Amino acid sequence: MKLLAITVLLVACGGGKTGQPTTPPPPKPITCARAADGMVGLLIANKNPKPPDDAVDGLRNMIRERCAKDAWSTEAQRCLGDMKTADDANVCGTLLTDDQQAALVQAQSAPPK
């Protein structure tokens, strides 16, 4: 009886093999929003307390805008969206041109609208 209950539980939870190969989830689309989410996520990951939502949203929107206006490459957007560490950020930063980096720094330094 126990074996039957464990088998039912495994099948219900997806633990049983069905003979069908599992399909990996589709990759996340490469977008400026994804790049902004990755950058902001890394910036606030270890902040305690977390910055206010309106400040985080403002930063995220500014990054999206710079990404779109400055035509960041797909490779840069993918890298920035996937980064998890400061070392990742350093690598991803090399994928932006000097002009793109300067525009981002200037936008970040500008007073809020």
At 89-104, the pLDDT tens digits run 999 999 999 999 999 9
Whether 38 contacts 78, CB under 8 Å: no
Q: Give pLDDT, residue 26.
A: 72
| pLDDT value, residue 4 | 38
Residue 41 is part of which domain span? Answer: 32-109
pLDDT at 16: 46
pLDDT of residue 10 exceeding 50: no
* In the predicted structure, residue 8 carries a pLDDT above the cut 50: no
Question: How high does pLDDT run on average in the chain?
Answer: 83
Question: How far is C-alpha 90 from the geometric centre of its chain's CA atoms?
Answer: 15
Gap between the Cα atoms of 30 and 16, Å rounded: 34
Whether 99 is covered by a domain: the verdict is yes
Please report which residue ranges of 1-113 form alpha helices under DSSP H: 2-12, 32-44, 53-69, 74-82, 86-93, 98-109
Residue 2 forms part of a structural domain: no
Residue 83 inside a domain? The answer is yes
Residue 104 lies in a domain: yes
Number of domains in the chain: 1
Is residue 90 domain-resident? yes
Q: Does residue 22 sit within a domain? A: no
